[in-house]
Amino acid sequence: MEKNIEEDNYLTIEGIKREEIKVKGSKFIASAGYAPDKNKAMEFVGLIRSEFFDATHNCFAYSIGAKGLEYRFFDDGEPSGSAGKPILFTINKFNYKDIVLVVTRYFGGTKLGIGGLSRAYSDAANEVLSKCKVKKVHLTTTVKVFCIYEDINAVKRLINEFAISFEESYLEAVEFIVQVPNSKAERFAELVSSQTKGRAGAVINS
């Protein structure tokens, strides 16, 4: 039985993107970057802070991992909940993972209030995220397949149907190292056995 196909991929962004908006004289500069782990996210935050060292605030949020279970948001002196949390909310709205987003503010002389700040930080985040180059990351399970030469065609048909990628080696028997979407790994292994009448074996790496 196949598992939930939502386990098979997630969306992230490629490279770095920056956009700017102005709200009542204040300038909000949103910088988004790919961050596969917390250290990379904070490294990106540090670079933005260095670049905009004279800014009033450098607020940020990040979401790491296929399910976004590792996350953080930071208001950098803005009223609690008015900056970092709206940035993270906007990231989640786009359903992007492995991403860090810093919104730099240069105060323009007019106070926006907590509601106005939340909208401004959210709008700045939305502006940059809507223009990022999106990348789909495939989540796969490694399956090792062993077969005799007579079963190569049957096994390769299954590989072509199920695999994201594979490697092969030909010795006394044939071995394939197959990357299969998480939700399809068990079904793939079952078919390898059934369609070769048990002659071929498939081992799912845990």
pLDDT of the chain, 206 residues: tens digit per residue: 445 556 789 999 999 999 999 999 999 999 999 999 999 999 999 999 999 999 999 999 999 999 889 999 999 999 999 999 999 999 999 999 999 999 999 998 899 999 999 999 999 999 999 999 999 999 999 999 999 999 999 999 999 999 999 999 998 889 999 999 999 999 999 999 999 999 999 999 86
Burial class (CB in 10 A: 0-12, 13-18, 19+), 28: buried
pLDDT of residue 103: 99
* Annotated domain spans of the chain: 5-136, 139-204
Of the candidates 88, 106, 102, 86, which has an alpha carbon nearest to the alpha carbon of residue 22? Answer: 106
Of the candidates 60, 58, 54, 4, which has an alpha carbon nearest to the alpha carbon of residue 35? Answer: 60
Give me the architecture of the 5-136 domain, per CATH.
2-Layer Sandwich (3.30)
Of the candidates 24, 11, 25, 33, which has an alpha carbon nearest to the alpha carbon of residue 103? Answer: 33
pLDDT of residue 109: 86
- What are the φ and ψ backbone dihedral angles of 147, each rounded to 5 degrees? -150, 165
pTM: 0.82
Candidates 3.30.70.240, 3.90.1150.10, 3.40.50.970, 3.40.190.10; CATH matching 139-204: 3.30.70.240
pLDDT of residue 1: 45
Burial 50-84 (b: 16+ CB within 10 A, else e): eebeebebbbbbbbbebebeebbbbbbebeeebbb
